[in-house]
Amino acid sequence: MPAAHEVYVELTVNGEPRAATVPARTLLVHFLRDRLRLTGTHVGCDTTQCGACTVALDGVAVKSCTLLAAQADGHEVTTIEGLADPGAGSLHPIQQAFQDEHGLQCGYCTPGMVMAVRQLIEDQPDPTQDQVRHALDGNICRCTGYQNIVAAALSAARSMRDGAARAGGTDSAADPAGGREG
């Protein structure tokens, strides 16, 4: 196959197969926003530093502003729109925690924060506050001062552990890590 200005890309986005021919220089974030009209994924910088564009590529959080749509060909992408279970009619526990803990002000960074927290909790289901702050190294918020974002991440991790414990048939009250801390 010779190198081409236009590339045909076929990928799965939020569980649905999607295909299009796009200019080779199309960044994944522009493909998602402009082609698929999935505008939950934001662009906040030109330097790969802010994390507002975070999505999951084959289940791993990446910055969609620093990935060509062509590189995502054949892969699976999950955006903020695909995070909550569509059948449940409710928010994903991480989204719910951001609402409960008031983990946002203007909301611009929020989709990226939520997608980064999803990765954190998958890697470390019971993170410390330090681990949360470290895991959010690639996400910038201009409004909140991070305090409530960290609180939301910790609270989401707790509720997801409780949920997993219930699903596993264990009594969550017996889980010493469960329940709210002081």
Partner 1 sequence: MFPTDFRYVRARSLDEALDLLDEAAAAGDEAKLIAGGQSLLPMMKLRLAAPQVLIDIAGLPELSGGGWYGPVAGGHLSYTIGALRTYRELGRDTLLAGGLVRGRDESAPPHQAEGIPAVTDALAVLADPQVRARGTIGGAVAHGDPAADLPAVLLALDAEVVIAGRPGRHEHKPGPPHHLPRAPRPGEEPSNVERRTMLLDDFLQGIYATDLAEDEIITHVKITAQGGRASAYEKFPHPASHLPLAGVAVALTFASGTLTDSGGRVTSLSDGSIASAAIAVTGIATRPYRARAAEAVLKGAFPAPDVLAAAAAQVARAGDGTELSLLGDQHASAPYRAHLAEVLAGRALARALARAESA
Q: Work out how close the CB of 133 gets to partner 1 at its nearest, in angstroms, rounded to a whole number.
A: 12
Q: Nearest 5 degrees, angle CA 159-CA 132-CA 179?
A: 25
168 interacts with, out of ligand FES, partner 1, ligand FAD, none, CB within 5 to 8 A per kind = none
SS3 of 31, please? helix
Rounded to the nearest whole angstrom, what is the least distance from the CB of residue 174 to partner 1 in the complex?
29
Q: Is 123 or 126 the residue whose CB approaches partner 1 more closely? A: 123
C-alpha distances in Å from residue 93, one per residue of 28, 83, 164: 26, 10, 12
| Cα angle value 46/47/52 (rounded, 5°) | 75
> Of 17-25, 97-105, 162-170, 171-179, which part binds partner 1 (CB under 8 A)?
17-25
Minimum gap (Å) between residue 170 Cβ and ligand FES: 36
> By C-alpha distance, which of 117, 116, 113 is closest to 104?
113
Closest residue (Cβ) to ligand FAD? 48
